[in-house]
């Protein structure tokens, strides 16, 4: 029987059109820090990478969790796919293992809780981790753009998928 590797600090990063969000966990229900950072103007990817490098340097995580943005994973904008790849390279340079999960894998991880819409997943996270409750945005109407705080819940969902995965960490990316 292969022993599970223990990851003391797990960092999940979710790039978005507005910037990026991250959550640092010590365990499945133990967040240490989280934030949604908005980045506007030119060179957004480069400026996001500077902020992400600072987060990596500050926490020195044992594992990094990203969204699988490959063609078989989750389709995202070209700029976000490039940013995601650069985040993975930053982690590789620091010898941090990178794990990636598609949107479908995240939904599957949350199936036991009921519905798997993005907002329901966020509500489930807020219910199980009270620290996130005050950050839960209201349900989005069809004409509304997504609330920037939703990125925190997307990052948290990735991290919780990591913790729930059968191998104790899922599949290592790239």
Beta bridge pairs of residue 137? none
Tally the domains of the chain: 1
Measured in residues, the chain has a length of 174
Instruction: Specify if 56 maps to a domain.
Output: yes
Q: Is there a contact between 16 and 80 (Cβ–Cβ < 8 Å)?
A: yes
Residue 92 lies in domain: 10-164
Burial group, residue 140, by CB count within 10 angstroms (0-12, 13-18, 19+): middle
- Asked if residue 5 is part of any domain, the answer here is no
pTM of the complete model: 0.89
Model confidence at 6, pLDDT cuts 50, 70, 90, reads low
pLDDT greater than 70 at residue 45: yes
pLDDT in tens, 110-162: 988 887 788 899 999 999 999 998 988 888 888 888 778 899 999 999 999 99
Instruction: Give the residues across from 19 on adjacent strands.
Output: 16, 38
For the sheet with 10-16, list strands across it. 30-38, 19-27, 10-16, 63-67, 98-101
pLDDT of residue 172: 55
Q: Is residue 169 part of a domain?
A: no
CATH number at residue 60: 3.30.420.10
The span from the CA of 81 to the CA of 86, in Å, is 9
Q: Is residue 28 included in any domain, yes or no?
A: yes
Extract the tokens encoding 64: 């990094």
For the cut 70, the answer to whether the pLDDT of residue 4 exceeds it is no
55 part of a folded domain = yes
Q: Which residue has the tokens 């509304």?
A: 144
Look at residue 171 and tell me if it is in a domain.
no
For 45-55, what is the mean pLDDT?
96
């Amino acid at each position: 029987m292969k022993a599970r590797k223990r990851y003391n600090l797990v960092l999940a990063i979710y790039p978005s059109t507005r910037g990026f969000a991250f959550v640092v966990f010590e365990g499945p229900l133990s967040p240490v820090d989280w934030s949604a950072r908005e980045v506007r103007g030119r060179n957004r990817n480069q400026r996001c990478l500077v902020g992400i490098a600072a987060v990596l340097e500050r926490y020195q995580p044992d594992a990094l969790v990203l969204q699988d943005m490959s063609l078989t994973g989750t389709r995202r904008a070209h700029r976000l796919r490039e940013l995601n790849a650069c985040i993975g390279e930053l982690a590789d340079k620091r010898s941090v293992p990178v794990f990636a999960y598609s949107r479908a894998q995240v939904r599957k991880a949350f199936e036991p809780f009921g519905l798997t819409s993005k907002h329901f997943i966020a509500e489930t996270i807020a219910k199980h981790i009270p620290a996130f409750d005050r950050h839960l945005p209201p349900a989005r109407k069809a004409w509304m753009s997504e609330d920037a705080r939703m990125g925190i819940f997307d990052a948290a969902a990735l991290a919780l998928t990591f913790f729930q995965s059968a191998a104790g960490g899922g599949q290592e990316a790239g």
